[in-house]
Copies of this chain bind each other. A is one copy, B any other.
C-alpha cells in the first residue's frame, strides 16, 4: 500500500449495481486524484462499465469475484454462504491491509454481519453502532446513532456510541468540537429509561472529553440543536425511518399540490429552480453514507437505492474518515470510560 488512499468497493451491492457503483467511483475520481479503488465483483460487467468511465478506470483495479449476495438474503445465511462474494472480498481487502475503508450499497444485514465477523470490534467497544446523517435547520446535518445495529444498549454502550459519533462528526464536518446529546422524552434529568440516565451520569463522571449537552427530544434532530444525537438502535432506527417517511409524505403532497391544476403547474414551473434546490437539500443521497462504527476497519454503508452521486457521497465519507485521526481520538476517550467503569464496578463490590 503506497501513499495514496485505497478504498475497497463492493461492485455488486445495491438496487442499481454495478452501474451506479462504477459511475459513483467515476464522480469521486474526478474530485480527487490521490485515491485508488479496488472494485470487487463480476470482472466482465465491471470491465465494460469502466471502459465507459475513464476517470474511474485510471485509478481502479477490479478484484474478480464469482458471486454476489442478494438484497433479501438473511444475515445468518450470508455468513454461512457469503465467502467469495463481492461484499466478503471487499471486507477482506481491509482486513488484510490492502485498503483503508470499505463502501457497499448492498444488503445491510449481510454487510454488517460479514464486517463484524471478519473485522471484529475495536478494543474498548462492546458493540458497533450504525451512524447516519440527517439534514438540520441550521444548514448542516445531525449525526444520529445507533440507527439499527443493536436492539438494546446499556449506559456504558451509549457512552461508547457518543464517543464514536462525536469523532465521526468531527472527521466528516471539520467541526472541531461537535456537541453531543442523548435522545430522550424530555430535557429534565429525571426523564427516560435508567440506561439513558446512567449514560448521562457516566459521561459527566468519567472525564470523557466531549461537549455534552444533556438530553434532547425527537424534534431536536431536525432542528440541529446538537451535532450528534445518541440513542439505542431500536429507537434510532424508528426515529430515522419515521423522519424519512414524513419527508417522503410532505414531498408527495407537495408534488400533488403543484400538479393539481393549470395555475399550480404554472407556478411550479416558474419556481422550478428554487424547488429543485429544496429537493437536493432533502434528498437522502445528499447525506448518503452511514458508518458502521466500532470495528477494526472503516465500514461505510450506502443506501441501496442511491444513484451515482449518492454513491460518490458515500465514497466521500469513507475518504474523510480514512484521512482523519478517528481511531486515536476515540481510543483516548474509550480509555477514560473504561477506567471510570472499572472504578465504579470496584466501588460497588467494595460497598
| Chain A residues within CB distance 8 Å of chain B | 135-137, 148, 151-152, 183, 185, 192-193, 217-223, 231, 233-235, 237-254, 256-258, 260-261, 263-264, 266-275, 277-278, 281-282
Contacts and interface: CB of A to CB of B under 8 A. Distances in A.
Contact of A242 (B136, B222, B249, B260): B222
Interface of A is mostly: helix
B238 A185 contact: yes
Contact of A219 (B219, B242, B270, B272): B242
Contacts of A248: 137, 219, 222
Contacts of A238: 183, 185, 217-218, 231, 235, 238-239
A103 to B, nearest CB: 24
Nearest to A183: B238
Given A257-B275, A274-B257, A274-B264, A222 B249 contact: yes
B219 A185 contact: no
A222 B193 contact: no
Given A185-B233, A267-B272, A274-B258, A193 B152 contact: yes
A240 B254 contact: no
A213 B90 CA distance: 38
A159 B237 CA distance: 22
Contact of A245 (B219, B245, B254, B275): B219
Contacts of A272: 267
Contact of A222 (B245, B258, B270, B274): B245
Contact of A221 (B192, B242, B269, B273): B242
B271 A258 contact: yes
A278 B254 contact: yes
A271 B220 CA distance: 31
Contact of A241 (B151, B218, B264): B218
